[in-house]
Amino acid sequence: MDRQTISNAKRLVIKVGSALLTNDGAGIDRQAIDAWVEQIAKLLSAGKEVVLVSSGAVAEGLVRLGIDTRPESIHMLQSAAAVGQMGLIQTYETSFRRFDRQTAQILLDHDDMANRERYLNARSVIQTLMELNVVPIVNENDTVVTDEIRFGDNDRLAALVANLIDADALLILTDKDGMFDANPDENKDAQLITQALASDSGLDALAGSSNGALGRGGMQTKLEAARLASRSGCNTVIAGGRNQDILTRICEGENLGTLLQAGKTPIAARKQWLAGQLQVKGRLVLDDGAAKVLRQQGRSLLAVGVTQVSGEFTRGELVSCEDSSGQEVARGLVNYNADETRLIQGKSTEEIATILGYCDDDELIHRDNMVVSS
C-alpha cells in the first residue's frame, strides 16, 4: 500500500492533541489552530469530509483558572474541562468563520459508542452535519466522565469516531513526527517508521520509546487507536502537527509520518464486526421482492418488505434478515424496536408517522448499517 490510499480518502477523522493545541500547556495556541483550520478548509473545498476530534479542554481550563499544577481531584478536572471547553470551541468557531464554515460541538464518551441506540443517534447526527457542510468538532465529555481523565483518551475516542462514521483515514497529529524505531530524543540515529501494519505486534515495544509531551505511553495510545480504527478498515497516519501544511501534504500523498495500515478492506472489516462483535437479537422475514433488492442491489431495508418479526430488540441492536425459506439475506442495526417494527411491518414509509406518531428514520435498516450475506 502506498500513500495514494490516503490521498484518495474521502472521509477523514483528524485528531489534534493537547500538547499541540495548548503549546505544551501554555494555553490555546490560536495561531496553530488557525493554520490547521485553513488546511481543513482546503480539504473541504476539495470535496473531502472532515470530522475534527480535539483535545485541549482540560489544559485550557487550568490556564483560565490560574492552576499551575494538574490537580488530582476528578471534580477539579471536570470543572477545568467545563471552563476550557468554552474557550476551545469559541476559538474553533472564530477560526472556521474566516472560511464561511459552520461548526458544531459534539461531546461524547465511550458509553455512547457502546450503547447501540446512542451509537446510531451519534452516527446519524454527525452524518447529517456533514451533509449540511458543517464541521463536527468532537471532544470527550470530560465534565461527566467518571473514569480518570487522561490526555491520551481522545486517541481512542478518535478511533471510535472513525469506526462510527466509516472513515477512510484517521490522521493523528502529535508533537512527534511519527513512530520511531528508538527514542529520537535520546538516539540521534533513530529512524522514522514510515509504514507498517497496525496489527504488527512488534510495534508495541517501539511505541514505548516514542514519548511525547503527553507523557510516557502517549505513542502507545496512538498505536492502540490505529488498531481500533483498523477494525472498520480505516488506515491511520501519525504525524507531527507542527510541520508546515501537514494535513494538506498528507492528503496529497506525501510520505510524512507513520502510516499504519488496516490490512483489510472496509467492507470485510465491517462484516466481521457485525458478524462477530454483536449478538443477533431478533429476526425479520422478508418478502421475495425485498430479499431480491437486498441481495442484488444492497439497498436499505424498508418496513414494507417485512412480513414477520420475531425476538425482542431495541433500536440499534443487531437483527437477522431472512427470506421466506429461512436463509439469511443480511444482518444489520435496526432503527426501530421490536414492538414498533411489528406495528409498521408491511407498511409504506409514508404510513410510519401515522402509525407510530413519529418517523425517526425512513429505513428500517439503513444500508450503511447492513452487511449482505455472501
pLDDT tops 50 at residue 217: no
The answer, yes or no, to whether residue 335 has pLDDT greater than 90, is yes
Give all strands (DSSP E) within the chain, no chain letters.
11-16, 49-54, 102-108, 134-140, 169-174, 195-197, 235-240, 258-261, 280-286, 306-311, 318-322, 328-333, 370-372
CB-based contact 34:229 (threshold 8 Å): no
Same fold, 4-270 and 278-372: no
CATH class of the domain comprising 278-372: mainly beta
Percent of all residues in the chain with a pLDDT value above 70, rounded to a whole number: 88
Q: State the chain's mean pLDDT as an integer.
A: 87
Are the C-beta atoms of 195 and 170 separated by less than 8 Å?
Answer: no
**Fold entry, domain 4-270:** Carbamate kinase (3.40.1160)
HSE-up of 37 (CA within 13 Å, CB side)? 25
Which residue from 299, 318, 306, 229 is spatially nearest to 269, judged by alpha carbons? 229
Across 298-307, average pLDDT: 95
What ranges do the domains of the chain cover? Answer: 4-270, 278-372
Nearest CA-CA partner of 223 in 166, 211, 142, 213: 211
pLDDT at 151 over 60: no
| Backbone dihedral region for residue 372 (phi beyond 0: left; psi -120 to 50: alpha; all else: beta) | beta
Average pLDDT of the segment spanning 70-81: 86
**Closest by alpha carbon to 308, among 332, 333, 325?**
325
Rounded to whole angstroms, the Cα distance separating 308 from 247 reads 50
Of the pLDDT bands very low, low, confident and very high (cuts 50, 70, 90), residue 241 is very high
